[in-house]
Amino acid sequence: MKKAVCLLSGGMDSSTLAYVAKDMGYDIIALHFTYGQRTEVKERKCAKEIARLLGAVEFVEIGLEHFKKIGASSLTDENIPVEEYVGEEEGIPNTYVPFRNANLLAIATSLAEARHAEAIFIGVQTGDYPGYPDCRPEFIEAFQRAIDLGTAAKPRIRLMTPFVQMSKVDIIEKGLRLGVPYEHTWSCYQANDRACGICSSCHYRREAFRELGLEDPIEYEE
């Protein structure tokens, strides 16, 4: 059976992505990162449950404490408040963690090569491009080139981004067809109990469910 490393945060996108990879015939190696993010506890719990329900062959958790030391993001620095969603804005949001995806993908590549996995799945999608430079297709293409040049993997390790042209609505529709248990996923940037309902991640998640005429199965503060 072919194997894939799936970056699994426990969020809506990454959980759906893991189900997509499973549906494509891959055995799943679930890779979860903790890096001092505000919702670390809840994310870990959700990621482990999704991996269990999915039947992942391995759950690998890796700590990246250096992000807490680096700071410069409201996700890792308690002194920087998480921005409330106030409409579409240009520029980089303060939830951006500097060059995070490069760090995550480097470790995912090491794991994939060590486990002889053929693919790495990461859930970058259309809505991420404007504010998160390490979610752009050009970045993914460049990192694929780095993998090709920097590994001895046979067969070649492929970066898989099936959501790259999909919206949140598209992703949820796909996940519902595959039976993704969204009640065990977490998107909020700042709460570990009830989702805050006011950060941008909560906003986009709720709007996607509303657009589909569905109730989001997680609880919100407001």
46 belongs to an annotated ligand binding site: no
13 is in an annotated binding site: yes
Rg of the chain (C-alpha set): 17
Q: Is 159 annotated as a binding residue?
A: no
Distance, CA of 196 to CA of 161 (rounded, Å):
28
Three-state secondary structure string covering 140-159: HHHHHHHHHHHCCCCCCCEE
Buried b or exposed e, range 157-185, using 16+ CB within 10 angstroms: bbbbbbbbebebeebbbbbeeeebebebb
> Is 25 annotated as belonging to a binding site?
no
Question: Is 36 annotated for ligand binding?
Answer: no
Q: Is 202 annotated as a binding residue?
A: yes
Q: Is 24 annotated as a binding residue?
A: no
User: Is 105 annotated as ligand-binding?
Assistant: no
Query: What angle, 0 to 180 degrees and rounded to 10, lies between the N-to-C axes of helices 200-211 and 168-178?
Result: 60
Tokens of 218: 């997680």
10 labelled as ligand-binding?
Answer: yes
Annotated binding-site residue? 73: no
Distance CA 25, CA 23 (A): 5
Structure-token match 């240009």, residue found: 90
Q: Is 216 annotated in some ligand binding site?
A: no
Residue 27 labelled as part of a binding site: no
- Residue 18 marked as a ligand binder: yes
Q: Is 188 annotated in some ligand binding site? A: yes
Site of tokens 């060590």: 114
Check the annotation: does 15 bind a ligand.
Answer: yes
Give the residue numbers of the binding site for ATP.
Answer: 8-18
Query: Would you list which residues are annotated within the binding site?
Result: 8-18, 188, 196, 199, 202
Known binding site for Zn(2+): residues?
A: 188, 196, 199, 202
